[in-house]
Structure 1
Amino acid sequence: MDGHRIMTIRLNKGHLAAIALFIAMVVWMLLGTLKPEPEFTNPRPLVMNQGLTRVQVERMQGQAMGREITVSARTAANRRVDIRSEVRAKVIAIHRQKGEPVKQGDLILELDARDWPARVKQAEAALKQRQLEAQSAQRLRQQGLANAAELASAQTMLANAEAELTNARLQLDATQIRAPFDGIVDQRSVEVGDFVQDGTALVTVLDFSPYLIKGQVAEIEAGHVNIGDRAYAELVNGDRVEGVIRFIAAEADAQTRTFPIEMEVANPSGNMTSGLTAKLHIPQPETQAYYISPALLILDDEGRLGLKGINEQHQVIFQPINLLKADNSGIWIYGLGERADIITVGQGFVEYGEQVEPVFHSDDSPTQIGEQHTDETNKQTALTAG
């Protein structure tokens, strides 16, 4: 050889396979960097190209449903009178015990009349004398034998005698404590031998025929109640009674902003207890109701309860609502009319007055708004608060 050492590299099949794999990877990587990456497009963007926020909207249809105004109440007597003493005297007899029924005019208890019977007789005799004197003065005046002053003096003394007799009779009658109406002697504050002063409480008489169911209706519901409306009440003992609304206050309570209300219940027997807990129900005309998830409820700046919806121009509006009833799965509301477009997804991203891009959700099944629903042909995610 010419003096140069020549090195011979022998390659086996394994070496050749590794080299080929390396070359293929290099080529694949080069091709990947040269190929443009496709742009990702969100099929449901929150903000559309025209700058409008996209929200899911449920076009809800109301369901006719009866409703009731419910008021916490209690039973009460139709009339209650606390009879007080009109004279200073001692209690000498009790004719009716507590709890006994009485008729109007029945004697309940007696006070010592002292000398008032005698004073009545004295006043009657004095009146008769003054009547004769006045008659004589009148005849003398007609005959010209008495002047006008003498006649006037006789008439004055006659009037005084009449007043004294009237006072004596009133004082005597005041010692006889009688029932002012048919009812029940509920309380008695004195016993035989007690000395009472003017104004001392003696007995309380209650009238339960009819009796009343009394409560306080909220100001938001007061305008829906009218005198003469039929109503019913459920008593704490399980009884259900029906009656008629006979009174609703024209002025709200200054502290609670509620209106006193009364239902009258016919009760010929007169048997009842005052103060029993009751629930007063006042049926109202049918209204358009909606069954929704409580998660959709919001409060506006004035503290009113409602939902976020859209108008015909797709602007966000506040829809005030009223609660009808609730169960373990959701609530029934009313106040939206026959139909309404309510935002169910994305309501937290939009403000009142803002124009949005609505995506309408329709589902003919009675599934509650806000609940998961699965159909055999199409599985949809139900509406929830966004």
Structure 2
Amino acid sequence: MNIKEIIARRPWILAVLVSIAVVLWMLSGLNETNEITTDTSQISAPGEVGAILKVQVETRHAEPITRFISVYGRTAPTRTVTISAETEGRVAKIRARRGMAVTAGSPILELDMRDRLARVKQARASVTEHRTAYTAQTKLQKDGYVSDTQITETLAKLETAKAEMIRAQLDLDNRVIKAPFDGVLKERDVEVGDFVRSGDSVATFVDNITLIVTGTLAEQEIANIKVGDEGKAHLVTGQTVKGHIRYLSPVGDEATHTFAVELEIDNRDGKLPAGVTAEIVLRGGEALAQKISPALLTLDASGTLGIYIVDEMQRAAFIPITIERSETDGLWVSGLPDTANIITVGQGYVNPGQKVEAVRAPTETAVAAESLR
């Protein structure tokens, strides 16, 4: 006899089986609810009234450190000048190429000679002629043969001849355009055969034997900075050099509330490029600070950067901080109490004012001893 025949003869059996299945299903649901309720009741939500969360803390004491101020700027030559022709003529010879280091007084280019030398010789001859006449008339004046008026006229002609000789000599000298100081020829605006007039630009010359790094300081930082202070410059090229502050603006920018600053650095070997980004690092006085891991930093609801500590009332407290110095193994921050119990584990689960149970972080000695057991 199969199951269908049994149920057909005794239908009450089917009703019993269905009832048993429903009861078992309801009991299983109730059991799951009790398990969930039991597990949840063992967890206290952060900040819940009466909840005490265990957090791990480390006690840190403030230490005096040197503050450093970082300013970003660019390197630039100490001097950049435009060289202009002081006489007219056609370019006859190029004596220096672009990018070439040139010492003060060395020729950069030459203009054609024209009649400059002849005019110098003529002017010298005129000076000699009028000087001789003046000397002779002075002797004759003693005997009364020459009047004072004649002497005055001859002396005037002599002075005029001297002035003409000076102008002719200057014109001859200005034919050769020279470097005004030790530096580098950045640009040359003319080539052989070009005609230039007095005042025309012929070259751009820079002094990169000494470079400056220009930047701007925030107004709250200038109190600890003065001309002559030492500093460093980290160039984007990877080079780091020392220098000193040569200029600090006495007046701040009205729009940005910043002050211009210039760090002077030595570049006699010519290895430092001008016109690249650089970071100026200056000493900014002393500060009391604690060294922490960057992982301990957090933000409050308003976006303020700070750290959670455990206060004297055994409550979590959010303390805003200022980063004073950054090192490879941590940050030096100020703003904390001189002695602070910093939350190192669990800071992400606490709220300001929440009661907590502080547990000391294990020391290196304790960890080593535990590992030997």
- TM norm. shorter chain > 0.5: yes
Give the counterpart letter for 1:379 in structure 2.
Answer: E
Look up the match of 1:23. Answer: none
CA contact (8 A) 2:137 2:146 kept: yes
- Is 1:365 matched up with 2:341? yes
For residues 300 and 63 of structure 2, the distance between their equivalents in structure 1, rounded to whole angstroms, comes to 20
Among 275, 292, 295, which residue is 2:300 paired with? 295
Q: Return the alpha-carbon distance in structure 2 between the equivalents of residues 153 and 297 of structure 1.
A: 91
Structure-to-structure mapping, 1:336-351, within 5 angstroms: none
Deviations 1:262-293 (A, max 9, x none): 22222332343210110111022321347875
Confirm or deny that 1:379 pairs with 2:320: no
Q: Deviations over 1:162-216 (max 9, x none)?
A: 1111111111111101122222211111111111222221112222222222222
What residue in structure 2 maps to residue 280 of structure 1?
Answer: 280
CA distance in 1, matches of 2:83, 2:250: 30
Q: What residue in structure 2 maps to residue 69 of structure 1?
A: 69
1:114 aligns to what SS in structure 2? coil
Fraction of identical pairs, as percent: 32
Instruction: Give the whole-Å Cα distance in 2 for the aligned partners of 1:152 and 1:321.
Output: 86
- 8 Å Cα contact 1:231/1:242 also seen in 2: yes
Distance in 2, matches of 1:225 and 1:332, equals 21
- Call closer, same or farther: CA 1:62–1:97 in 2, change over 3 Å: same
The verdict on how the C-alpha distance between 1:176 and 1:146 changes in structure 2, with shifts beyond 3 A counting, is same
Shift in Å at residue 321 of structure 1?
Answer: 9.2
In the alignment, structure 2 segments of 5+ residues that lack a partner are 1-48, 50-59, 306-319, 359-373
In structure 2, C-alpha distance between the alignment counterparts of 1:273 and 1:280, rounded to whole Å:
15
Kindly provide the amino acid, as one letter, of the partner of residue 147 in structure 1: S
Residue 159 of structure 2 corresponds to which residue in structure 1?
159
Cα drift, residue 339 of structure 1: 6.0
CA distance in 2, matches of 1:268, 1:169: 35
Partner of 1:13: none
Is the CA contact (8 Å cut-off) linking 2:61 and 2:340 kept in structure 1? no
Shift of 1:297: 7.5
Q: Following TM superposition, by how much is the alpha carbon of 1:373 offset from its aligned partner in structure 2, in angstroms?
A: 7.8
Partners of 2:134 and 2:249 in 1: CA distance: 55
Q: Which amino acid aligns with 2:175?
A: T
Instruction: Decide which moves more: 129-138 or 175-184.
Output: 129-138
The number of equivalent residue pairs is 278
Q: Is the 8 A contact 1:367 1:373 kept in 2?
A: no
Query: CA distance change for structure 1 residues 255 and 112 in 2, over 3 Å: closer, same or farther?
Result: farther
TM-score, normalization: structure 1?
Answer: 0.62
Equivalent residues of 1:373, 1:379 under 8 A apart: no
CA distance in 2, matches of 1:227, 1:72: 18
Equivalent residue letter for 1:148 = D
**Counterpart in the other structure of 1:185:** 185
Work out the CA distance in 2 between the residues paired with 1:322 and 1:145. 96
Letter in 1 for 2:269: S
AA aligned opposite 2:357:
K
Q: Secondary structure at the match of 2:268?
A: coil
Counterpart residue identity of residue 205, structure 2:
V
Aligned residue in 1 for 2:149: 149
**Structure 1 gaps, min length 5:** 1-43, 45-59, 300-304, 306-319, 341-362, 381-386
Measured on the aligned residues, the alpha-carbon RMSD in Å equals 3.8
State the match for 1:262 in structure 2: 262
Tell me if the contact between 2:231 and 2:242 (Cα under 8 Å) persists in the aligned partners.
Answer: yes
2:207 aligned residue: 207
CA contact (8 A) 2:224 2:285 kept: no
Q: How does 1:6-21 map to 2 (within 5 A)?
A: none
Contact kept in structure 2, 1:107 and 1:179, CA below 8 Å:
yes
2:111 is aligned with 1:111: yes
Summarize the Cα distance change of 1:152–1:251 in structure 2 as closer, same or farther, 3 Å threshold.
Answer: farther
CA 1:297–1:280 in structure 2 vs 1: closer, same or farther (change >3 Å)? Answer: farther
The CA distance in 1 between the partners of 2:125 and 2:258, in whole Å, is 60
Deviation of 1:84 after TM superposition, in Å, equals: 0.8
Any conservation in 1 of the 2:87–2:175 contact (CA below 8 Å)? Answer: yes
The code of the aligned residue for 2:300 comes to A
Matching residue's letter, 2:280: L
Q: Following the alignment from structure 1 to structure 2, what is the Cα–Cα distance between the partners of residues 113 and 220?
A: 61
Q: Which residue of 1 aligns with 2:368?
A: none
**Structure 1 Cα separation of the partners of residues 101 and 86 of structure 2:** 24
Question: Match for residue 348 of structure 1?
Answer: none
1:64–1:168 Cα change, 3 Å: same
Distance 2:303 2:141 in 1: 92
Match runs of 1:125-136 below 5 Å: 125-136=125-136
Structure 1 Cα separation of the partners of residues 136 and 91 of structure 2:
45
Q: Distance in 1 between matches of 2:195 and 2:105?
A: 23
Q: Where is the helix percentage greater, Structure 1 or Structure 2? A: 2
